[in-house]
Amino acid sequence: MLPWGGLSCCLSGAALYLLGRSSGRDAEILKSATRINQLKELAKLLDSEFRLPVVVAVSGRVSSETPINCEFTGLRGVVVEETAEQHFLKHNDAGSWIQDSALMLSMSKEVPWYLDDGTGRVFVVGARAATGFLLPVASEVFEESGRSLVRGTLDYLQGLKMLGVKRIERVLPTGTSMSVVGEAVKDDIGTIRIQRPQKGPFYVSPKTIDQLIANLGKWARWYKYASVGLTMFGVYLVAKHSIQYIIERKRLWELQKRYVAQVCSFGTCK
């Protein structure tokens, strides 16, 4: 029988090693990205840059010409996600009431937005698919269901007890400080945007560039240490299994040898 436990540990160690290399490579790419201290410098860079595409790191505050007015919080955002969940109690097979929920609504809105640092602006395209992009919860409201006799009777017949609706609103508000690492391009009318490069990482995060680099370096080291530990443990398990197999085979061979010797001692060997 193969030592599946040891082999699994070795394969997991190899996977963590590859993850560590990927994180370390992304950290090096972020270090090598051209840092733009003022957004007005980006237009000059694109006009004079012969080595295209160019990966840049920029920072600024989220802005938009047509922001979304959020329904529950009153915030003005550029990306808004709204979800509504119906929460209820239902009978299980044992006849007890258990809590469950069902998604009623999931809606997402996004308007063209850009980063502005007071010296210039750069549009960000495809940010929701970027690494590090998260929408914080801006509002979470629970609306209890009405307690009418007709509704209660219908719920009872269906084996349900309606509790209420939970509404969650996630927003990227205007004015939020963001850092973006990606490919910078300039169209024919002079609009500058940052998008996902064909090769390399694409980050949109509230963390600074230095924080992103430090975080990737930390994960690269953690993956490396975990990889070494799992691999060594896997090798130990494989070696232990191999030694036990050799000992067992040797024991069986000695038993077989004794059996043959005993048979021969009775004069039955030829």
The string of pLDDT tens digits covering residues 150-198 is 455 555 556 677 788 888 889 999 999 999 998 988 887 878 899 998 8
As averages over each run of 10 residues, the pLDDT of the chain (270 residues) reads: 70 78 76 84 75 82 91 86 86 75 86 91 90 84 67 58 85 91 84 86 86 80 81 79 80 78 64
**pLDDT at residue 150, rounded to an integer:** 47
- 193 touches 123 (CB < 8 A): yes
Q: 100-129, pLDDT tens digit by residue?
A: 888 888 888 999 999 998 888 899 999 888
61, 163, 178 from 138: Cα distances, Å: 18, 23, 17
Rounded Cα distance between 257 and 218, Å, is 58
**pLDDT at residue 14, rounded to an integer:** 81
- 35 touches 57 (CB < 8 A): yes
- Report residue 90 CA to chain centroid gap: 33
Looking from the CA of 195 toward its CB, the CA atoms found within 13 Å total: 11
Q: What are the structural domains, with CATH classification, of the chain?
A: 34-206 (2.40.50)
**pLDDT at residue 66, rounded to an integer:** 92
